[in-house]
Amino acid sequence: MDTTTEDYLARIIGQKVKITTVSGCFQGLLTGVDPDRIVTLMKVKNLQTGQAVPGAKLIFGQNVLDVEIVEEPESTAEIQEPVSIESENILSQEIAASGHQEVTASLLHTIQRSVDNEDVAYTVIDQFQTNFGPTIRYLQCQKVLGLSAVGLDLFRYGNLCWLQVATKRHVYLFDILKMGPGVFKNGLQMVLEDKDILKVVHDCRWLGAILLHQYGVMMNNVFDTQVGDVYLFHMHTGGFLPHRTSTERECLTRYRNMPATKVNFLKYKQTLMKDNSDVWFTRPMPTALLKVLALEVMHLLDLRLAILDAMLADFTLLVDGYLNSYRQGLADVFDGAESSNSQLPKELQQLSILQRLRREKALKEHNVNSQGFLTRMEEN
């Protein structure tokens, strides 16, 4: 693709086009041409097979042979409408320019407002030049990383669009849709498979499946906050299991006491994904959604620490019992310590009593379903 073709494509963004490449012919909605001459199509159909292509299709400029407009723009009013510098209008302009008029503007405005005052430092990694190498080297030096991802139908055969990686101070958003499998082969795989780097994930099943089956990446050393929540429920109810798992939003509220105003962006994100599942194919990605991705993974690191503290609560209680026995002048109890060590101290026997009391309380506060699980309240 020469400069003339690139300029032509830039002028017809938002229109339905037919693009002939060295490997085939595709029809779709032209949503962008980035500085690296990568063309993005949505609602794509392979004209050779007649089959729809799920999600977005990226076409490298050097492979483009011909471009043809196949119909008038479906709607250009929003694209051409002047916008103010207010944040909501800026967001609308970003979405319109990307060709995603079907995305609910009011919901995106709500997301914008919910993250406006949040402070998070993030960097978008969407090319191998410049900061990709230094970022990988920096991540390899970390001991703990937050990890999440978004895409379409994320499981074994889904489409991975963004991979979010958080350190204590910064978040890196890897554009998998644009960079492709090379992002793993050129360094990210080493980070994810490194047994010395702890990866914090909320529900690692789907991410582990897509990384393994599509990219050959086997994640190691994972702390799953969703598993941690179920473990704590089991502990706090004296041995019962919940009838369902918790969302990251619920866990942040439960273990970090974060108010709804601080975590509602996760609820809005879920609604957006349900109504517009291909929103993560948008390029350029609206700034508000990039911030949502960064905040989502950033909070995982603090959530892990809160869950670990809660896991150690019983242990700490028993240790305090040991200390209090000595402090209360019961040191004579330890005469002949070697022989008494084989007997379970009364301080440790309190754990079984505590479990029984918790079980009784849990049965009063929860209903038991047909499978014997305690029912949790549904998320608001």
Domain layout of the chain by residue ranges: 3-68, 104-310
pLDDT (0 to 100) of residue 84? 37
CA-to-CA distance for 130 and 277, rounded, in angstroms? Answer: 31
pLDDT (0 to 100) of residue 28? 87
Q: Which of 24-38, 192-206, 247-261 has the lowest mean pLDDT?
A: 24-38
Secondary structure E strands in 34-111: 38-46, 51-53, 57-60, 64-69
Is CATH 1.10.1380.10 the right assignment for the domain spanning 3-68? no
Is there a contact between 81 and 59 (Cβ–Cβ < 8 Å)? no
Q: Report residue 156 as tokens.
A: 């074994």
pLDDT tier for residue 36 given thresholds of 50, 70 and 90: low
Instruction: Return the higher-pLDDT residue of 371 and 85.
Output: 371
Secondary structure E strands in 54-115: 57-60, 64-69
Instruction: Return the higher-pLDDT residue of 5 and 143.
Output: 143
Q: Count the neighbouring beta carbons within 10 Å of the beta carbon of residue 125.
A: 22
* pLDDT score of 104 more than 90: no
* pLDDT score of 173 more than 90: yes
Question: What is the 3 state secondary structure string of 285-308?
Answer: CCHHHHHHHHHHHHHHHHHHHHHH
* pLDDT score of 111 more than 60: yes
- Residue 223: enclosing H or E segment and its boundaries? strand 222-224
Please, what's the b/e burial string for 140-172 (b: 16 or more CB within 10 A of its CB; e: otherwise)? eebebbbbbbbbbebeeebbbbbbbbbbeeebb
Q: Which of 66-70, 155-159, 309-313, 355-359 has the lowest mean pLDDT?
A: 155-159
**Farthest-apart Cα atoms in the chain, separation:** 93
List, for residues 245-288, the tens digit of each pLDDT value. 999 999 999 999 999 999 999 998 888 887 777 788 888 888 99
Mean pLDDT of 14-27: 88
* pLDDT score of 62 more than 90: no
Question: Exposed, middle or buried, 97 (CB in 10 Å: 0-12/13-18/19+)?
Answer: middle
104-310 maps to which CATH number? Answer: 3.30.420.10
* pLDDT score of 332 more than 60: no
